[in-house]
Structure 1
């Protein structure tokens, strides 16, 4: 098992920009006879993982999904999806347990690494709670992928690995931008530290070992929930609808379904290479609140909230050039609120 530290060897402040052309590969979305290959999805029971599994199964893929406990009731929604087609197998696998991760990846041709800690509470031990699961977990996945002959690995990183730097771009953030580790540590933004370290070290491993790797950096992910438990990003809308003043609103947003469709696109497109920013909408916090008020006026929205982000937008041009399209913001917000109502989280 590879251990991570806050100061890994060879990683100082600015990670290597990884956007060089990938080796030529055949289309990855089909096997001989037009059949879809077997793929592994880490964190299959989470917000993004659940939607990714659903979309993959609907397109005919056979899926190995990793979860902490396959028998946990919070994974019943996955079993219902899998039972409908018999193409989902759940594996008990901890990110820090290399043999478990390798067992889930064995027999697959592709890997989608989605699992990563995103605490909803104050972090008391950043190394144990955030850094180790993200960094060591990612290195375990890429190492197991290489040893199992995986054709392509797609990692869900974050714009957290893109936008935090003292020197901001003049027009927009693109895939050449990286968050500055020293700056993130100084600000004690441990999630940003973990995502920046995990992605950059994954690229370092991929280059040294000839692994076909693609990473995607989504902004705030909204949209309907499939899983029964509340995910951190959905708290943004929940707190606004409930009038809580500590709501944090991020300027960049993308629908969870559009993100998952982008993940499949990046796996299937032979020409996909390097990093991809995935952000559909950029707007001020006040604009989002006013839009919600117009759509759902009955709620008592807070008059104070925390707007987080930058005037400089995120560019998803590279992903769009590959064929990615996204939903209107109004559709995402409407489906998000309806999902919260359906789950009884808001009234």
Structure 2
């Protein structure tokens, strides 16, 4: 992400790539760098005849296991502090860090795993995520954002169908949020 030219009537999947030019024009360096790195890996694997399988996680959250928060957890902290950013160029694909780790094991151990694997518990609007955080944690001043924060996006629970077909059962968004917020509270990142 972002991929603003992806057809509105097609569910995002592994065929969807970040729009490199769009990222450059809008100074979206993080998704640009990840995309260019993956493209370089695919090119290198083609040149060297390597079998590469990729796991593309979405917004990775859960208990804090490092002394520094990742970008996804910083986004959650900012939301809990009242940030009104709508992340209009991105869909919400939350995923528990345990599922990201398990996805890597699954594709490594499964010879039938090939290509790219989207790793998200669902594809939804950022507004859906914000509403769920507000529902679970009404004590925080979560801003009211429009539910439709990514016009044209098709919501789905099986955006990660390739990993699901390999046996991965994703932790649901509600539990991801609870694990993340409770960990942030217990470690003093939020009060």
TM bucket, shorter chain = 0.7 to 0.9
Pairwise CA distance, 1:215? 0.8
Determine if contact 2:125/2:155 at 8 Å carries over to the other structure: no
The residue aligned with 2:73 is 234
May I ask how many residue pairs the two structures share in their alignment?
186
The residue aligned with 2:153 is 311
CA distances 1:135-159 after superposition (whole Å, capped 9, x unpaired): xxxxxxxxxxxxxxxxxxxxxxxxx
Please, which runs of 5 or more residues in structure 2 have no aligned partner? Answer: none
Determine if contact 2:6/2:16 at 8 Å carries over to the other structure: no
Q: 2:94 aligns with which of 253, 262, 280?
A: 253
- Relative distance call for 1:296 and 1:227 in structure 2 (3 A) is same
Please, which runs of 5 or more residues in structure 1 have no aligned partner? Answer: 1-159
Rounded Cα–Cα distance in structure 1 between residues aligned with 2:83 and 2:15: 36
1:214 aligns with 2:53: yes
Pairwise CA distance, 1:318? 1.2
Matches within 5 A, 1:38-53: none
CA distances 1:202-244 after superposition (whole Å, capped 9, x unpaired): 1111111111211111111121111122221102221122223
Q: Which stretch of the first structure deviates more once superposed, 185-194 or 272-281?
A: 185-194
Rounded Cα–Cα distance in structure 2 between residues aligned with 1:255 and 1:336: 9
1:295 aligns with 2:136: yes
- Relative distance call for 1:179 and 1:250 in structure 2 (3 A) is closer
Determine if contact 1:215/1:276 at 8 Å carries over to the other structure: yes
- Relative distance call for 1:308 and 1:234 in structure 2 (3 A) is farther
Rounded Cα–Cα distance in structure 1 between residues aligned with 2:128 and 2:6: 26
- Relative distance call for 1:243 and 1:183 in structure 2 (3 A) is closer
Q: What value does the CA root-mean-square deviation take over the aligned residues?
A: 2.4
CA distances 1:46-93 after superposition (whole Å, capped 9, x unpaired): xxxxxxxxxxxxxxxxxxxxxxxxxxxxxxxxxxxxxxxxxxxxxxxx
Q: 1:322 aligns with which of 166, 169, 172?
A: 166
Pairwise CA distance, 1:199? 0.9
Per chain length, whose mean CA-contact separation is higher, i.e. which structure has more relative contact order (CA < 8 Å, sep 6+)?
A: 2
The residue aligned with 2:125 is 284
Bigger share in strand: 1
Pairwise CA distance, 1:258? 0.8
1:172 aligns with 2:14: no
Pairwise CA distance, 1:178? 2.0
Rounded Cα–Cα distance in structure 2 between residues aligned with 1:299 and 1:197: 37
Q: TM-score, normalised by structure 1?
A: 0.49
Pairwise CA distance, 1:339? 0.3
Q: TM-score, normalised by structure 2?
A: 0.85
CA distances 1:144-181 after superposition (whole Å, capped 9, x unpaired): xxxxxxxxxxxxxxxx3xx5142435221222222232
The residue aligned with 1:184 is 23
